[in-house]
Amino acid sequence: MAGRSSRSNDRAVVSDNFFEPRSLAVIGASSHPEKVGFAVLANVIESGYQGEVFAVNPKAGVIQEIRCHPDVGSLPHPPDLAIVIVPANAVLETVTRCAGIGVRAGVVISAGFRETGIEGRRLENAVVKAARDGGMRLLGPNCLGIINTALPLNASFARRMPPRGSIGVLSQSGAICTSLIDWARAEGVGFSKLVSLGNGADLVESDFLDALADDTKTNVIAMYLEGVSNGERFFESVRRASRAKPVVFFKAGATTSGARAASSHTGSLAGSESSYEALCRQAPALRAYSVDELIELSLALATQPIPKGPSVALITNAGGPGIIASDACERAGLSLARIAGKTLDELKRFLPPAASLHNPIDLLGTADAKLYGLALETLLADPDVDAVMIILTPQAMTEVAGTADEILRIARGAEKPVVCSFMGADSVEAEVDRLQEAGIPNVAYPDKAMQILGRMYERRLQVMRPRPRAKRFPVDSKAVSSLFHGYVETGATTQLSPEDCREVLQAYGIPYSPLKVASDLAGAKRHAAEMGYPVVLKVMSRQVVHKTDVGGVVLDIRNQRRLASAYDDMISNVRRKMPAAKIDGVTVQKMVPQGRELILGVARDPQFGPLVMVGLGGIYVETFKDVAFRLVPMTPRDAASMLHELKAYRLLSGVRGEPPADIAAVEEVLLRVSQLAGEHPCLSEMDINPLIVYNAGDGCTCVDVRITLGG
Amino acid sequence: MAGRSSRSNDRAVVSDNFFEPRSLAVIGASSHPEKVGFAVLANVIESGYQGEVFAVNPKAGVIQEIRCHPDVGSLPHPPDLAIVIVPANAVLETVTRCAGIGVRAGVVISAGFRETGIEGRRLENAVVKAARDGGMRLLGPNCLGIINTALPLNASFARRMPPRGSIGVLSQSGAICTSLIDWARAEGVGFSKLVSLGNGADLVESDFLDALADDTKTNVIAMYLEGVSNGERFFESVRRASRAKPVVFFKAGATTSGARAASSHTGSLAGSESSYEALCRQAPALRAYSVDELIELSLALATQPIPKGPSVALITNAGGPGIIASDACERAGLSLARIAGKTLDELKRFLPPAASLHNPIDLLGTADAKLYGLALETLLADPDVDAVMIILTPQAMTEVAGTADEILRIARGAEKPVVCSFMGADSVEAEVDRLQEAGIPNVAYPDKAMQILGRMYERRLQVMRPRPRAKRFPVDSKAVSSLFHGYVETGATTQLSPEDCREVLQAYGIPYSPLKVASDLAGAKRHAAEMGYPVVLKVMSRQVVHKTDVGGVVLDIRNQRRLASAYDDMISNVRRKMPAAKIDGVTVQKMVPQGRELILGVARDPQFGPLVMVGLGGIYVETFKDVAFRLVPMTPRDAASMLHELKAYRLLSGVRGEPPADIAAVEEVLLRVSQLAGEHPCLSEMDINPLIVYNAGDGCTCVDVRITLGG
């Protein structure tokens, strides 16, 4: 293995055999041009693969000038990679034999497995077991194949090979792979490697993500995802990859978590998108919201440096598109650079008198290639300019080719990103291809071009600060484990009793207002006397979800006499409004002073595990859905940034002369809740509603808590 | 004029001379190929124009085989249209002479006017005056020209002519025109007419909008706008055009209203976008949010029928893109059609067993042209399907050309819209062009394609119900006029006194809580006694904007003793916190019962005139900006729909067992405020904050009102 990738193979599960095989066998090679087994062998040969190629087919003699072996057993030595295209019902035997002779890597292109139903799933599981038992790892089944443009090797049935480049592509859809290759060829966009993940029966997206993270030929990882096999593993892989290079993904399809019935506010607000959005902030990663953004953003990141700051200089030969780009600038989180001093003097020297010297710099419709070049050179040299965007509209006197030449001459190797928007089609097409092939991205519409530049800057912001470690508090985790254990033994989904909820908070150092359960008025009176008036009385019943709606809550009870009447009223109210509800008793709670109300909670994503939520409390949480989510484990920065993410943040930081709330106390509660959720996988949902927050220095307190286990 | 357009010329200011001249003169024609005067003449000739063409140039003899006339005076007869390309300083004389010999229409392509500064603006005004005095109307100056593909005539210096089609294009940017033409040619998109508006010195966007509304060759109007010259006129023109055909516009650039200092909540919330958003809802119109959406949506609307309902059948040969499109479906306001009954039986007959029979209908990667055709035919015939979207990914066995043939055969002339998404570039390009030229729109990305279909359905929803008339209430408009008149005479921007604000509300039948002004404690006591306790005391001072912040508001004063102490506290608080503030007195107001709080107001857009706003009151209006705007005059439907538009609508309609609020009463106040704003142009801003809304049947009442005049 000397001289091959320096990646340490003891950790990586995607061995070099997949991307850099010295020999390979096409098992199921065919002499019929309409068959996939023909296309794959042809692609391997036509791609210029330099390693040894075997073809396996029991019937054929010679296919595409390669002598066929009748079966795997007759190969002279085990190939590094087996590409399997035999019918589904022959795959198990083929893979078993491959593993038997010492093949360590296989790409199963054949379809007819999990995607066809329960029988197919069984077959798929058997294939994976056979491979693993024999020390072999598999890509697929039901995939397009694998491509490494650098080797080169096209071990797929894609019609064509993408150009060589530095975007590594992972896709859970084979059809998307073929479309991406098609686009790449048309637009001059280059890929390093392309992996069609198929059913991901053995090796999954995270495995190849790890491999691309280590791949020196790959500068950007672009993924098309429909789901992930293990969210926590994926989070870790993205985090690791993102330290080395930008990770961009497009996510299609809704996961099941969105559809699942939720027993809490947090659960009902945690849609399938929350986890992916949280992943982007925390890993970090860049999410593309359309397929074209996936391509354009990946290309820009692969070919251009990321901007060091938000200041963009905008060069144009027409006012309208300049306005469009300027509009998009602020929306993209960027700003137009201020043109002054030496740069301004320089521009004055060569620009026509009617040109706009201020950003956007309008060279006018008469601008020739030289003028574009001078402007670009001057602006790139300005230390206050972080990026340059060049708009060209094909007008009567425009030198499209010459301008492209100038841009290529000046921008190639510049330390600042240059993004072009040559508008139109017919008359700029050839030059756009030339620009993109040479590593200058072009986005046909100026607003989109600005958006891409903004996403590049987002990467800059993401990597600017190192990610801190998750914080651990000294807590009594064991007490909570044994408490939860008692519930879970009884089976199914369970709600903790209000008192047990308090015990959990207590064990994790989360402040709460005292609460006691009473089964009758006498008990309620005793508890109230102990904790001191005023108190709050609430009905306890599994059937009553919204207590206020049925008269099940009485606030601010100031003495024993009031308590007695409140108790009687409450019981009769609930009996009248919900005759079917079984009343389990009442809770007596110390009335706490008013403050700003938040809702805080935990939901569990079936793929990503626990998510922590925070939002503005009261009925507003339902109306405005002003909530933020983070995956567990959370860092202190996550806690701070999720509060900042709320539109209601200004209600916490203080508006209209109000003093700021105790934000530090809320952040600590968030981190303690994150630790609680992380340490107890059986905690399925949790709502703290409200968390009352006092002025800075005065802390916060949980008033009502619901915890659901199992699920 | 017999046999030409049937449009009645007595109303239209854009005469047939512009679009269908029988003769034209290119004034400033040039023999130098690099000059605009050469390009325009060449374009006129090459476009195949059949009318009489004159060239005017004092020096040249023959240009492009056309004999030149030395000046306008030597033309044998006045041409229908003069195209002016002489230098800016010669335009005034040229236009004057043209008008003098009876030319009625001119396109001034020459630049060097308003866009160059104050001198240029003066010259521009003089040119317009000369034209109008002579009975001539002008397009431009500083424009690309005008194109009518049907005549045909290319009277512009655009490099090329767009294909013939039914999209009428108006653009305030010449460069955007050239880009649009370029795209149109590459994508097989056809235009009916194209007008580059230039500086719009005489004829403006609304004039040509009126003309395109009446043009039988135009099915869709697509506009690129940077602003409008007269918003109220534009509103009326869009409304009129939209009755006949869809109006789509892209708006670039921020208007000044966003930047302007506002003295009210409403004013500060009314950004430059509010008017355009309101226009879309009220006129109605479709706003494109990117240049590509402008093109793609216009093309779809020009070539396909609009869907009668939201149910889409989705045909695909790959799972991934099908998921992407399905995701986009709900976001686009559409739904996937339920496939059942006869359609399901039919599909079962010819689809392969592994194909998905449910929406999206996945024909699998092996689908040939025939299968696509069968599926399309079957789904178009299903009465529960309102539109069909066809995704094609170029796979090994895909018949791209054959599938396009089938689609063209079946979809052309269908009563339901068909939108394609042939993905990729290289291998589908030629077929995409062929589809689009034949009137089947193709959008390369399936999410974008679904979005376009959604916007088409939006047009359906817009035209489904006729727009009701604005409602007029019997009010005392004269009393308000004379009250305002007294203020406006004193000049500049003025705030009405609290008592005068009440008078205005009174005159327009808008309910409010009683309020009196007092200059001292004795007066306050007298007013309180008259209206009855409890009362609210507020400080009056022009310098104090947020009264609460300086202790300038005391609520719920229940008797005379409390009033006295509140008065003293307030005066000393305000003096201490804002020593510079001049205290003009206090207001005594009847304390009203609590209810749901709204904010309601008027802002004035410099282009569109008054806008009425409504939103949830309190600090939430600033935090969530949950507000809705409508242009004046408002209809009852506008009032209802703007409340529905609020996220907080559910707080009005009743959540958690709360009874619904008196929405009808709020709607009436909105309409009365709309009438007030419409009848008094000097009313510049108005805030009603809060408007307290009671339960249904109990009405609402304005508590605090601010009115600003002038500005």
Rounded-to-integer distance, Cα B690 and Cα B704, Å: 6
Closest to A382 in 3D by CA, of A335, A326, A313? A313
Rounded-to-integer distance, Cα B197 and Cα B206, Å: 11
Interval A569-624: pLDDT, tens:
999 999 998 898 899 999 999 998 889 999 999 999 888 889 999 998 876 777 78
In terms of DSSP bridges, do strands B387-392 and B311-316 run parallel, antiparallel, or are they unpaired? parallel
Rounded to a whole number of angstroms, the distance from the CA of A529 to the nearest CA of chain B is 32
CATH architecture of the region B596-709: 2-Layer Sandwich (3.30)
Whether A404 contacts A411, CB under 8 Å: no
Structure-block tokens of residue B482:
């004379």
Interval A80-132: pLDDT, tens:
999 999 999 999 999 999 999 999 999 999 999 998 889 999 999 999 999 99
Nearest CA in chain A to B272: A327
pLDDT at B297 over 50: yes
Interval A249-272: pLDDT, tens:
999 875 433 334 556 677 777 766
Cis peptide before A152 (omega within 30 of 0): yes
Q: Which one of B43, B143, B179, B627 makes the best mutation probe of the A interface by having the most chain A beta carbons within 10 Å?
A: B179
pLDDT at A66 over 70: yes
Provide the pLDDT for residue A10. 41
Interval A278-334: pLDDT, tens:
999 999 999 998 888 999 999 999 999 999 999 999 999 988 899 889 988 988 999
Q: Any CB–CB contact under 8 A between A10 and chain B?
A: no
Query: Do A159 and B291 make contact, defined as CB atoms within 8 angstroms?
Result: no
Phi, psi (5° rounding) for residue B525? Answer: -60, -40
Q: Any CB–CB contact under 8 A between B42 and chain A?
A: no
Q: Any CB–CB contact under 8 A between A626 and chain B?
A: yes
Model confidence at A9, in pLDDT bands (50, 70, 90)? very low
Range from A258-262, B468-472, B600-604 that averages highest in pLDDT: B600-604
Out of B178, B425, B623, name the one closest to residue A183 (CB).
B425
Provide the pLDDT for residue B6. 39
Model confidence at B15, in pLDDT bands (50, 70, 90)? confident
Whether A311 contacts A335, CB under 8 Å: yes
Provide the pLDDT for residue B9. 39
pLDDT at A632 over 50: yes
pLDDT at B639 over 90: yes
Q: Is the dihedral of CA B146, B148, B154, B155 positive or negative?
A: negative
Strand, helix or coil for residue A576: helix
CATH number of the domain at B305-464, out of 3.30.1490.270, 3.40.50.261, 3.10.129.10, 3.10.440.10? 3.40.50.261
Closest to B471 in 3D by CA, of B589, B328, B634, B586? B634
Rounded-to-integer distance, Cα B251 and Cα B229, Å: 14
Query: Do B426 and A253 make contact, defined as CB atoms within 8 angstroms?
Result: no
Beta-carbon contacts of A95 under 8 Å, excluding residues fewer than 6 positions away, are A82, A84, A106, A108, A127, A130, A131, A134, A136, A138
Interval A521-567: pLDDT, tens:
999 999 999 999 999 999 998 888 778 888 899 989 999 999 999 99
A514-591 homologous superfamily: ATP-grasp fold, A domain (3.30.1490.20)
What mean pLDDT, rounded, does chain B reach?
Answer: 90
Rounded-to-integer distance, Cα A369 and Cα A377, Å: 12
Provide the pLDDT for residue A5. 41
Closest to A392 in 3D by CA, of A355, A350, A437, A431? A431
Structure-block tokens of residue B664:
């009808």
pLDDT at A7 over 80: no
Between the two ends of chain B, the Cα-to-Cα distance in Å is 48
Beta-carbon contacts of B674 under 8 Å, excluding residues fewer than 6 positions away, are B470, B610, B612, B630, B632, B633, B634, B638, B639
The predicted model gives B146-158 an average pLDDT of 95
The predicted model gives A149-170 an average pLDDT of 94
**Proportion of chain B above pLDDT 90, given as a percent:** 69
Q: Domains of chain A: which residue ranges?
A: 305-464, 514-591, 596-709
Rounded-to-integer distance, Cα A560 and Cα B418, Å: 73
**Proportion of chain B above pLDDT 70, given as a percent:** 95
Measured between beta carbons, the chain B residues lying within 8 angstroms of A647 are 623-624
Structure-block tokens of residue A77:
């030595």
Out of B34, B354, B623, name the one closest to residue A647 (CB).
B623
A692, amino acid identity:
I
Nearest CA in chain A to B290: A447
Q: Any CB–CB contact under 8 A between A657 and chain B?
A: yes
The predicted model gives A213-238 an average pLDDT of 94
The predicted model gives B80-102 an average pLDDT of 97
Rounded-to-integer distance, Cα A186 and Cα A193, Å: 18
Strand, helix or coil for residue A131: helix
Provide the pLDDT for residue B262. 57
Provide the pLDDT for residue A426. 76
Reported in sequence order, the residue ranges of A140-274 that DSSP labels E, i.e. its strands, are 145-148, 153-156, 164-171, 191-196, 220-225, 247-251
Rounded-to-integer distance, Cα A354 and Cα B226, Å: 20
The predicted model gives A354-380 an average pLDDT of 92
Measured between beta carbons, the chain A residues lying within 8 angstroms of B185 are 425-426
Whether B588 contacts B528, CB under 8 Å: yes
Rounded-to-integer distance, Cα A114 and Cα A128, Å: 12
Q: Is the dihedral of CA A331, A334, A340, A343 positive or negative?
A: negative
CATH number of the domain at B16-253, out of 3.30.559.10, 2.30.330.10, 3.40.50.720, 2.30.29.30? 3.40.50.720
Residue A636 CB burial class (10 angstroms; 0-12, 13-18, ≥19): middle
Query: Do B291 and A324 make contact, defined as CB atoms within 8 angstroms?
Result: yes
pLDDT at B256 over 50: no
Q: Any CB–CB contact under 8 A between A645 and chain B?
A: no
Q: Any CB–CB contact under 8 A between A545 and chain B?
A: no
Whether B6 contacts B215, CB under 8 Å: no
Cα dist from A355 to A344, A371, A440, B21, B255, whole Å: 12, 11, 26, 35, 22
The predicted model gives B137-150 an average pLDDT of 96
Rounded-to-integer distance, Cα B316 and Cα B325, Å: 10
Nearest CA in chain A to B551: A657
Rounded to a whole number of angstroms, the distance from the CA of A656 to the nearest CA of chain B is 6
Rounded-to-integer distance, Cα B332 and Cα A530, Å: 58
Beta-carbon contacts of A4 under 8 Å, excluding residues fewer than 6 positions away, are A16, A20
Phi, psi (5° rounding) for residue B96? Answer: -60, -45
Out of B394, B425, B656, name the one closest to residue A619 (CB).
B656
Residue A39 CB burial class (10 angstroms; 0-12, 13-18, ≥19): buried
Whether A327 contacts A293, CB under 8 Å: no
Whether A596 contacts A661, CB under 8 Å: yes
Residue A150 CB burial class (10 angstroms; 0-12, 13-18, ≥19): middle
Phi, psi (5° rounding) for residue A278? Answer: -65, -40
Out of A157, A426, A447, name the one closest to residue B291 (CB).
A447
Rounded to a whole number of angstroms, the distance from the CA of A159 to the nearest CA of chain B is 6
Q: Any CB–CB contact under 8 A between B160 and chain A?
A: yes
Measured between beta carbons, the chain A residues lying within 8 angstroms of B292 are 444-445, 448
Range from A45-49, A251-255, B229-233, B483-487 that averages highest in pLDDT: A45-49
pLDDT at A191 over 60: yes
Closest to B418 in 3D by CA, of B317, B525, B307? B307
Our CA angle for A420, A426, A428, nearest 5°, is 25
pLDDT at B421 over 60: yes
The predicted model gives A154-161 an average pLDDT of 90
Rounded to a whole number of angstroms, the distance from the CA of B476 to the nearest CA of chain A is 38
Interface of A with B in 63-102 (CB under 8 A): none
Measured between beta carbons, the chain A residues lying within 8 angstroms of B620 are 620
Provide the pLDDT for residue B160. 84
Whether A475 contacts A322, CB under 8 Å: no
Rounded-to-integer distance, Cα B566 and Cα B564, Å: 5
Structure-block tokens of residue A22:
């010295």
Our CA angle for A672, A674, A676, nearest 5°, is 70
pLDDT at A468 over 80: no
Angle B319-331/A174-187 helices, nearest 10 degrees? 90
The predicted model gives B572-585 an average pLDDT of 90
